[in-house]
Amino acid sequence: MPSKGSTGNIRKREDPILRFNQKIYKQGSCWNWTGSINNKGYGTFGLSFGWREYTQTYAHRYSYTINKGLIPKGLCVLHKCDNTKCVNPDHLFLGTMKDNTQDMISKGRDKLWGNPMYGESNPASKLNTAQVLKIKSSLDLSGTLAKRFGVSKSLIKMIKRNKIWKHVKPLEVLEKTNEPKNSVRSSE
């Protein structure tokens, strides 16, 4: 039933993270993606930025970003579990294209976890990168976001207008060029 709201806009503003989480089917410890799968076996996820832009990203890269933080430029998100459809952040780790080898998986992967890569370690920061990314990619009103993240509305507005946290750019998630061609086929 159409809303009689004063704006006349009855389209619901969708929370992309909520929508993302609804497409996960947990099987064992893997979180299998039930959305679209590309021809290489990776899940894909459509995202809107602002009001008009729509684009697609890899589901596992999106999962990494919302759960662990931004993917540094040039790095890949690799699977520990040999399941390209899996988006469980605990099964994902960062590596370079060259790391995408058996050697990397068998020797070096665990070292990546302790590596402080993200700016949220700044003690003055009230938010972490993942939260800022959620704010930037959300279409919700500033007031709603302020309540959700327990910060002021003006802080949300500054983030949305790119006055602060400029280095967090949701579109970076969407780069497809970093994706390894044989990402998970190399274990064992």
Question: DSSP for 124-162?
Answer: T-SS-HHHHHHHHH--S-HHHHHHHHTS-HHHHHHHHTT
Please, what is the minimum distance in Å from the beta carbon of residue 29 to Zn ion?
A: 6
Half-sphere exposure of 138 (CA within 13 A, CB side): 23
Please name the residue ranges forming H helices in the chain: 16-21, 59-67, 102-103, 109-113, 129-137, 142-149, 153-160
- Quick one: which segment of 17-25, 47-55, 91-99, 156-164 binds Zn ion (CB under 5 A)? 91-99
Q: State the burial class of residue 74 (Cβ atoms within 10 Å of its Cβ: 0-12, 13-18, 19+).
A: exposed
Place of tokens 């969708």: 14
User: Measured from the CB atom, is 80 or 157 closer to Zn ion?
Assistant: 80
Tokens 């497809």 -> residue: 176
Computed from CA positions of residues 10, 49, 181, 85, in that sequence, does the dihedral angle turn out positive or negative? negative
**In the bound complex, what is the minimum distance in angstroms from residue 31's beta carbon to Zn ion?**
7
Binding residues for Zn ion restricted to 118-147, rule: CB under 5 A:
none
Q: Kindly identify the residues of this chain, within the stretch 12-51, that bind Zn ion according to CB under 5 A.
A: 30
Residue 90 CB, nearest distance to Zn ion (Å)? Answer: 8
Q: Are 56 and 46 in contact (CB under 8 A)?
A: yes
Choice between 67 and 125, CB closer to Zn ion: 67
Query: Residue 24 or 86: which CB sits closer to Zn ion?
Result: 86
Q: Considering the complex, state which of residue 32 and residue 131 has its C-beta at the smaller distance from Zn ion.
A: 32
- Kindly state the number of chain residues that form the binding site for Zn ion, as judged by CB under 5 A: 6
Of 59 and 135, the one with the shorter C-beta distance to Zn ion is 59
Nearest distance in Å: CB 182, Zn ion:
17
Rounded to the nearest whole angstrom, what is the least distance from the CB of residue 83 to Zn ion in the complex? 5
Residue with Cβ nearer Zn ion (81 or 158): 81
Residue 128 has which token pair?
């972490």
Hey, which residues between 50 and 89 contact Zn ion (CB under 5 A)?
81, 83, 86, 88
**Cβ 60 to Zn ion shortest distance, Å:** 9
Q: Which residues bind Zn ion (CB under 5 A)?
A: 30, 81, 83, 86, 88, 91
